[in-house]
Amino acid sequence: MQSDVNKSASPSSNKPFLTRRIDSFFATITDVASFNARFFRELVLPPYEFKEIVRQCYEVGYRSLLLISVTGFITGIVFTNQSRPSLAEFGATSWLPKLIAIAIIRALGPLVTALIAAGKVGSSIGAELGSMNVTEQIDAMEVSGTDPFKFLVVSRVIATSFTIPLLTMYTIFVALIGAYINVNVNEQTSFPSFIQEVFGAITYLDIFASVIKSFVFGYTIGMVGCYKGYHSSKGTEGVGKAANSSVVTAMFLVFMEELLSLQIVSALRAS
């Protein structure tokens, strides 16, 4: 009798392991799609949490500025040092500013910014919302009449979506400054000549693609952090898992989006 009850209570336990994993995967995909659909629905419906959006932009942008500055500056110097020997073999060190501009503006700037933001901002969002979920603060907001999804999720995703592109432009600027210092010390290239070479190597498509990529990266980082934190398991261990999973998942998706965007931009450039 007891065995019959157990079998009826957990029919999924009799399924093969692979089948259970497939069912879990598609259930997660459905849940993520529903979470994204709810975001766009709440995005256009009042009330609008402007103060919280501004506060989150400050948290995402200003508090990441120092780390972004150091990382961008080092990226420009390191990439220039690594590229110089290869060009020197062909006597083409004069092409160094063009190579730097193409690499930083097309790929390194958006990607480095997104990875830094995924590690700092994504983990922070996942841990913060996970902690609020564990301590039942989200339930308390619902009881008090505040829409927790709009206040916590929508504001953070908007902030990351619009702040990451600004940080990307700043990273590109700082990286180019670092690259110029390196080039000036080694090749004695003047600043006007360096800038002329840089802007002569890029197009409007390169700038537009970097901005759009950064916007998508920001949306992904914010959405992943909010989803992982909002659906974290109870207990302190769940908070740690939410923060860690936010970083890993966001970084993986950023690389996949970078690969996809590369194919799209290459097709546009060839057409």
Tell me, yes or no, whether 105 lies in a domain: yes
- Residue 186 lies inside a defined structural domain of this protein: yes
Q: How many Å apart are CA 76 and CA 179, to the nearest integer?
A: 5
- Between CA 256 and CA 23 the distance in angstroms is 23
Q: In this structure, what token pair is assigned to residue 87?
A: 């060009």
Whether omega for the bond prior to residue 85 falls within 30 degrees of 0, making it cis, is no
Report the alpha-carbon distance of residue 103 to residue 76 in Å, rounded: 10
In a domain, 48, yes or no: no
**Is residue 253 included in any domain, yes or no?**
yes
49 part of a folded domain: no
Query: What is d(CA 158, CA 53) in angstroms, rounded to the nearest whole number?
Result: 7
CA distances from 155 to 21, 53, 139, 227 (A): 33, 5, 18, 13
Into how many domains does the chain fold? 1
Q: Is residue 13 part of a domain?
A: no
Q: Rounded to an integer, what distance in angstroms lies between the CA atom of residue 39 and that of residue 35?
A: 6
Q: How far is the C-alpha of 170 from the C-alpha of 154, rounded, in Å? A: 25
Listed residue (222, 218, 202, 174) closest to 265, CA to CA? 202
Q: What are phi and psi of 180, to 5 degrees?
A: -65, -45
Each of the 271 residues of the chain gets a pLDDT tens digit; together they read: 444 544 444 455 567 767 777 777 778 888 889 989 989 998 888 888 899 999 999 988 887 889 999 999 999 999 999 888 888 888 777 888 899 999 999 989 999 999 999 988 988 998 888 888 888 888 788 777 778 888 899 999 999 999 999 999 999 999 999 999 999 888 888 888 999 999 888 889 999 999 999 999 999 999 999 999 888 877 777 788 888 889 999 999 999 999 999 999 888 888 7
Containing domain of residue 133, as a range? 60-266
Query: Which backbone phi and psi does 193 adopt, to 5 degrees?
Result: -65, -40
Residue 148 counted as domain residue: yes
Q: Note whether residue 117 is domain-resident.
A: yes
